[in-house]
């Protein structure tokens, strides 16, 4: 049955920052939603807070993110019920994986409860939805058991060095390395299906940590992934010459730990996987700058205040909170999301050079807002 979308529901999407939506007809979701470049919706990243207790200079430099910074109030955040409702709607469009992020997601009060609400959800083929979380690890020691009990199966912990001095410089709030290492230990003992470490590599700042990180986590089952430093947001003063291309990272590792490439876990996986030939374990590289993967990008992002972003570097978000808090029913919201995704043409990383040179004008939102 086809119905015309009520104009009032579409109007709710037209926040100041949202591009216009072309009215269409209502359809039941089919479980497959392709964008204008044929990329299907598969992953949903939900940012649950814009706050963080770290000030990693590449993400939330402390000169900008001061205590006077205009953070959102509690009422502006999506509630757990709203997040769960949206997640169901996204799953009906084919989402199989939900990642909670931020800001620092463990700062969101009751995060375990949200995990408990999301983890029973099932994909359309009746598989459990893959709920995961990215954290800076600072509060994980206390929270890991509760998250595991709530149904969290996998976890990613960010760690930008394995020497205390480097780590403190990278978090820029003088947070001690040993606390995060203890968190990683706790997570391992709890038998999460996977514990991964993300390390952002910035040339001349923490690249001396690459080999010690491998040495530390070798034979532990923990997968370390090296991320190229990116030009997210507008405040980190990114320069291309501070990026170490993943290819060079792999070459550097190979000199000490011979590697062989392995297949991705699933189509559209962002990390290129490698395993150590001596059986020491797996590592990964995420080459967002030097080997772009926009053509396989299947990720949608929802900010803590309910805006839908189609790219990590998006300029604009679509105000789903206004729809959630209107009279709109699930089908109307579902159709709005479908229209937005179908029109998606985002591919920032492929256009980075032209954008950096000013050939294409492209303002961006901050990563701590949109979620990494």
Residue 348 in contact with ligand SF4, rule: CB under 6 A:
yes
The residue among 117, 72, 24, 128 whose CA lies nearest residue 321 is 72
Residue 276 or 352: the one with the smaller Cβ distance to ligand SF4 is: 352
Give whole-number Cα distances, 54 to 12, 170, 218, 300, 331, in Å.
35, 9, 27, 25, 39
Phi, psi angle pair for 349, to nearest 5°: -60, -30
Element (H, E) at 185: helix 177-189
Residue 136 or 206: the one with the smaller Cβ distance to ligand SAM is: 136
Residue 14 or 141: the one with the smaller Cβ distance to ligand SF4 is: 141
Q: 370 CB contacts (<8 Å, ≥6 apart)? A: 47, 301, 303, 309, 312, 314, 317
Among 205, 365, 367, 369, binds ligand SAM (CB under 6 A): 367
Residue 47 in contact with ligand SF4, rule: CB under 6 A:
no
Going residue by residue from 128 to 167, which x/- string records binding to ligand SAM, judged by CB under 6 A? ------xxx---------------------x---------
- For the chain, give me the number of helices (H) and strands (E)? 12, 14
Residue 101 in contact with ligand SAM, rule: CB under 6 A:
yes
Question: What Rg, from alpha-carbon coordinates, does the chain have?
Answer: 20
Residue 335 or 368: the one with the smaller Cβ distance to ligand SAM is: 368
Using the contact rule CB under 6 A, the part of the chain among 21-29, 84-92, 290-298, 326-334 near ligand SF4 is: 290-298
Site for ligand SAM in 53-82 (CB under 6 A): 58-59
Residue 300 in contact with ligand SF4, rule: CB under 6 A:
no
Among 246, 272, 287, 349, binds ligand SF4 (CB under 6 A): 349
Beta strands in the chain (DSSP E): 3-4, 25-26, 43-47, 97-101, 130-135, 154-158, 194-201, 223-228, 259-262, 272-276, 282-286, 299-302, 307-309, 318-319
**Binder of residue 71, out of ligand SAM, ligand SF4, none (CB less than 5 to 8 A by kind):** none
Asked if 153 and 193 count as a contact pair (C-beta separation under 8 A), the reply is: yes
Positions touching ligand SAM (CB under 6 A) are: 52, 58-59, 101-102, 104, 134-136, 158, 198, 200, 227, 229-230, 232, 236, 367-368, 372
Which residues of this protein are in contact with ligand SF4, per CB under 6 A?
A: 52, 54-56, 59-60, 102-104, 136, 158, 293-294, 297, 299, 311-313, 346-349, 368
């Amino acid at each position: 049955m086809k119905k015309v979308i009520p104009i009032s529901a579409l109007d709710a999407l037209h926040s100041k920052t949202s591009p216009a939506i072309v009215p269409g007809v209502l359809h039941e979701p089919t479980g497959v939603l392709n964008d204008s470049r044929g990329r299907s919706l598969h992953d949903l990243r939900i940012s649950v807070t814009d706050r963080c207790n770290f000030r990693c200079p590449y993400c939330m430099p402390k000169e900008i993110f001061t205590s006077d910074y205009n953070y959102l109030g509690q009422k502006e955040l999506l509630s757990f019920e709203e997040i769960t409702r949206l997640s169901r709607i996204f799953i009906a469009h084919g989402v199989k994986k939900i990642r909670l992020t931020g800001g620092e997601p463990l700062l969101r009060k009751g995060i375990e409860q949200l995990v408990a609400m999301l983890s029973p959800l099932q994909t359309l083929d009746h598989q459990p939805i893959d709920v995961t979380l990215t954290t800076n690890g600072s509060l994980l020691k206390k929270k890991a058991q509760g998250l595991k009990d709530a149904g969290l199966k996998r976890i990613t912990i960010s760690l930008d060095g394995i020497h205390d001095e480097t780590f403190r410089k990278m978090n820029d709030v003088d947070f001690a390395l040993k606390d995060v290492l203890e968190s990683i230990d706790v997570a391992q003992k709890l038998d999460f299906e996977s514990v991964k470490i993300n390390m952002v590599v910035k040339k001349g700042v923490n690249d001396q940590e690459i080999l010690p990180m491998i040495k530390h986590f070798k034979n532990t089952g923990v997968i370390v992934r090296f991320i190229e430093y990116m030009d997210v947001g507008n405040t980190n003063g990114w320069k291309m010459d501070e990026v170490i291309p993943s290819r060079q990272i792999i070459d550097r590792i190979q000199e000490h730990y011979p590697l062989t490439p392995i297949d991705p876990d699933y189509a559209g996986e962002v990390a290129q996987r490698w395993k150590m030939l001596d059986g020491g374990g797996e590592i990964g590289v995420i080459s967002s700058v030097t080997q772009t993967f926009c053509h396989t990008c299947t990720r949608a992002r929802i900010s803590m205040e309910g805006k839908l972003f189609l790219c990590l570097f998006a300029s604009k978000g679509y105000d789903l909170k206004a729809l959630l808090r209107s009279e709109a029913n699930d089908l109307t919201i579902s159709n709005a999301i479908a229209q937005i995704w179908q029109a998606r043409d985002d591919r920032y990383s492929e256009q980075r050079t032209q954008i950096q040179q000013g050939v294409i004008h492209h303002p961006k939102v901050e990563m701590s807002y949109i979620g990494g």
